Structure formats: structure tokens, C-alpha cells
Amino acid sequence: MPAARRRRPAGLIAAAAAALAMLLLAGCDRMAKQAKDKSYETRGAPSEAAVEPAVGSVARETVDAAPPKLDLALLQRGRERFDIFCAPCHGRTGDGRGMIVRRGFPAPPSYHSDRLRTASEQHFYDVISQGYGAMFAYGPRIAPRDRWAIIAYIRALQLSQHTDVASLTAAAREALP
């Protein structure tokens, strides 16, 4: 008799669980058909506040057609942004041996390769903006003027490694270590 009593509550629990499952499933159909706002759906004209971009945001369509004037401030800004966004993979000198690579991730190309030394500034701008290969797009993270600053700094890195000493002025040659 005690064994039979134990079986009945188990059967009762199973029946209650099945009934609860049926009730929950019946509710799903009604939930799918109920009125609700869907993602990216608007009702009527959007308000002006909804159209205004957030302060400091970078629009996808924003393109700085021409690079800014090259000066020391632009190079300093480029170095700062390069060290933050590029050096972890590309290395501080642009050799493609950054900290991420030393941790086992694939190495990016060196900026000192012939292919990248002859690449246009627009190529670098597009790669920073849209990504390339394993590199993801930095367009939403880096303002257009900062992209140009990074490119100017990359060019300075390239010149630092591939300038013929004979082509330097006498004053520049004397300043070399």
C-alpha cells in the first residue's frame, strides 16, 4: 500500500505538469498576435529629438574628403590615436608585431612592406573606416579627422624606417644619433 501511494502523487504531478505546459503553449499563440511595437518601426513622423545624433558620435556617411594640413599637432594626435587603436596589433613602430600578436593572434601586415609604403592615403582611410581581412571597422570609433591623423603618423613611421640618409639635409644628418 505505501508503494501505491507514492506512485499516485508522481502521476498527479506529471498530469499537472502536462496541463501547465498546455496552458503555457496556448498562451504563446496569443502572445505572437498581440499588438506591440516592432524593432525599427515608427508611428507617424519621428520627433526632432529622435533625429539628432548624440554628441561626439561619428556618422557612417561622414567623409572628410581631403586630409587636413600636415603639422606637428596633427602628427602628435596621430601618434596618440595610433598608440590607442593600432599599436596593440601593428606594434608601436608599425612592424606588425604588437602585443596582441605576441599573445598568439595572427600578425597584421607591416607598414614597412613595399605594398603598404606605396599604398594611397585613401587606402589607409578606407581600411580604418571599413576594416580589412581580420581587422574590424574602426569607422564608428575613430572620427574622420583622427583617421587622417593616424595616416599621417603611419607615413612618418614609414619614412623613419626607409629614408635614405643621403637624401637628408646636412642639419638633419647631424641630428641623427
- Kindly tell me if the per-residue pLDDT of 72 is higher than 80: yes
Residue at 114 is within a domain = yes
Q: What 3-state DSSP class applies to 135? A: strand
Question: Secondary structure of the chain: what % helix, strand, coil (to 5)?
Answer: 55, 0, 40
Judge whether 149 lies within some domain: yes
Number of domains composing the chain: 1
pLDDT score of 40: 56
Return the higher-pLDDT residue of 141 and 14: 141
Q: Mapping DSSP to helix (H, G, I), strand (E, B) and coil, where does residue 121 land?
A: helix
Kindly report, residue by residue over 125-161, the tens digit of the pLDDT: 999 999 998 898 999 899 999 999 999 999 999 998 8
**Residue 58 placed within a domain:** no
Domain range enclosing 87: 72-175
Task: Evaluate whether 148 touches 125 at the Cβ level (below 8 Å).
Answer: yes
pTM (predicted TM-score): 0.62
What's at 1, amino acid-wise? M
CB 149 within 8 A of CB 77: yes
